[in-house]
Every structure is written in C-alpha cells, then in structure tokens.
Amino acid sequence: MKKTFVFPHARAALAGLAVIGSLAFSLVPVASAQAAVACPQPNSGGVPAVNQQHVFCGEVANNRAKGFHSRPGGQLPATVAFTAATTNTPVGPAGIYVLRSFNITQNGVTASKSISTMFPDSCSQANVVAAIQNAYNNRTSLNGNEFRGPSGAHCVAGNPGASFNIVGYLNGAGTVVTTAYPDY
C-alpha cells in the first residue's frame, strides 16, 4: 500500500503562490489600445476640414507654441512634452480638462505653452474631428470666423456621457477649422 503525505504548510504555500500569481497578472498595466497620434498631421477630410496638426500635435509659429487640444487615449504625440511644472486640472463635465505648462516642438523649434483646454482623452482622433465638424454644422453662433456648437454624440463628457460645447475658428476662406477646443 502506497501512502501519500500531504503537508499542511506545503498546501498553504502552494495556495499562496497561486494567489500571488493571479495578483501579478492583475497588477500589470494594460497598454492603451490607442497609439499616440503620428505627427505631422494633414487636414482632415469632411466639411469643414479640420487642421489636425494644430488640434492633435500642436504647432510652433514665430517661436510661440499654439494648439494641442486632444490626446486620444491619453497618449502624448512626439511633438508634446510635459515639464516638471505641467498640471492637469479638471473643468466642466468629467473628462474635459485644462493642461498647463508644457512644451511643443515643431521643425526642431521648442516653445512653451501656458494653457490648453483639452477634449476628453476617451475620444479617439476620429471622434474629435467628427465632434468639431458637428459643432460647426450645428453651430448656435457665428461671429466672424468664430463659431460655437455642440459636440454631439461623437465625443461626450461626464457620466452619463453628454454633448458639450466647442469653440472653433475658421480660416479666412471659411473652409478649414484652424483651431477648436471645449468651451470651458
């Protein structure tokens, strides 16, 4: 007759390893399903076209940082870098925030930007472009080249998700949205 011995401390040790192993898998951060926006960016399709370089990558003109209003999936493009002074302050509905003190680099020139109102990170690049076009096409006001309108269902903020207002500006010809951001 063969006897099998089970040691209580061995059983406890194996059970402990199983728990630790399962924790190790649950503690590993899951990579974002979205990659950072590749820069430079062309204007979008659709009417009106959206200056994607300005909205998603930022620009440097006359040694001044301009734009950068969206980072889909919370991913920074290679053109934007946080500094030790960078802050992120929620405003308005959940998801919309103000980013302060960061750098934008374009064509080898780096400039600091003091403030930028940001679309929710949960909105994809396509969602943000569609929301900007929706805001223009359903605008509630137009003052010269400035417009205001709702994001619609393309990009929402809060819980439950709701449309929010966007401010945008058209180029002189009225064919390209040169900038747009949440109205907060």
- pLDDT tens for 50-64 read 999 999 999 999 999
* Cα 149 to Cα 49: distance, rounded to the nearest angstrom: 16
* Cα 31 to Cα 47: distance, rounded to the nearest angstrom: 34
Nearest Cα neighbor of 80 from 52, 101, 50, 62 is 101
* Cα 166 to Cα 155: distance, rounded to the nearest angstrom: 11
Between 27 and 99, name the one with better pLDDT. Answer: 99
Query: Is there a contact between 124 and 34 (Cβ–Cβ < 8 Å)?
Result: yes
Confidence class for position 159, pLDDT limits 50, 70, 90: confident
pLDDT of residue 179: 98
pLDDT of residue 94: 82
Tell me the average pLDDT of the chain. 84
Total count of domains within the chain: 1
Q: How much of the chain exceeds pLDDT 70, in percent?
A: 81
The answer to whether residue 122 scores a pLDDT higher than 90 is yes
Domain that holds residue 153: 49-182
115 is a domain residue? yes
Collapse the DSSP code of 15 into the 3-class scheme (helix H, G, I; strand E, B; otherwise coil) and give the result.
helix
15 is a domain residue? no
30 is a domain residue? no
Question: Which DSSP string corresponds to 102-157?
Answer: EEEEETTEEEEEEEEEE--TTS-HHHHHHHHHHHHHT-SEEETTEEEEE-TTSS-B
